[in-house]
Structure 1
Amino acid sequence: MDLSLPQIWLIVGLVMLLAELVSILLVFVFFAIGALTTSLLTLLGVLPTTESQILAFSAVSLVSLLVLRKHARRLLDRTGDTGYTEFIGETAMVIKDIPLNGEGKIYYRGAEWKALASNQNSIPAGSKVVIKRTEGIVLIVEES
């Protein structure tokens, strides 16, 4: 099965979109934009040579990165700040010691969660803690 150049650029674009889904860098999406645009332009006959396709891919990827990355970052930061505020003030049980300046585990709502002590003290397993805030999926706790 021989693939045409537009099909190859389409595959590259889809692979870049998949790479973006598993990455947190917010970079692959711009390469995907470049590859998908190059695929379309090649299909329309605007880019007949491989050299012109590579130049178009590079230019579109770079321009989209420079123009859109700041806006995309701002949008993602705005939607990512919500956190798990419903956890704050709740009580949980330490099931794995939280060492001095280290990470342990707590049992909360039927699941194990990574936890850090808010005051940088160690908290032994079996202690009850109060959840003070969240940092991603890590709960910041204080001994109650």
Structure 2
Amino acid sequence: MMELSLPQIWMIIGLLMLVAELVSVVLVFIFFAVGGLVTALLAALGILPTLEYQIVAFSTISMLTLILFRKHAKKLLETRRGKQEEYKEFIGETAMVIRDIPSDGSGKIYYRGAEWSATSNNHNPIDAGSKVIIQRTEGITLIVEES
């Protein structure tokens, strides 16, 4: 059986954190990915000879990148999201409610061959079977009014 070296283990940790970031939307795992990958590089170069130094380096690098760059990265992502005009073509279209939309929550509508999460624009409950008009979008939730 092949044993992994510490740099290889840190590389795996970094890559797993990168995959976790791609799956999540919290913008935290990327900084641990950076910590793992930089620690792998420093360990491979012999700069961090022991596991204790590597753990301290991983923790320090991860926390510093998180503290220094998260706010900037989040703002950059929000700016990009703001420029996207996804689902704008849905506005004014008619859909069918397939699960009741309560006044203070979300239900489901059927539109373009798919189920969508929907909330009531004016906070009036809308019963399943009703036709609605899409007013706007908030992410992937459609805001609707009964037609």
4+ residue runs of structure 1 moved beyond 3 angstroms? none
Q: Equivalent residue for 1:109?
A: 112
Q: Equivalent residue for 1:3?
A: 4
**Counterpart residue identity of residue 136, structure 1:** G
> For structure 1, which runs of at least 5 residues remain unmatched after alignment?
none
State how 1:51-90 maps to structure 2 within 5 Å. Answer: 51-81=52-82, 82=84, 83-90=86-93
Pair 1:92 & 2:120 matched: no
Measured in 1, the distance between the counterparts of 2:56 and 2:104 equals 50
State how 1:114-133 maps to structure 2 within 5 Å. Answer: 114-133=117-136
Measured in 2, the distance between the counterparts of 1:102 and 1:51 equals 49
User: What TM-score do the two structures reach when normalised by structure 1?
Assistant: 0.92
**Counterpart residue identity of residue 99, structure 2:** K
Residue 22 of structure 1: CA displacement?
2.1
RMSD: 1.4
Residue 95 of structure 1: CA displacement?
2.2
User: What TM-score do the two structures reach when normalised by structure 2?
Assistant: 0.90
> For structure 2, which runs of at least 5 residues remain unmatched after alignment?
none
Measured in 2, the distance between the counterparts of 1:102 and 1:61 equals 38
Secondary structure in 2 matching 1:54: helix
Secondary structure in 2 matching 1:89: coil
Residue 142 of structure 1: CA displacement?
0.6
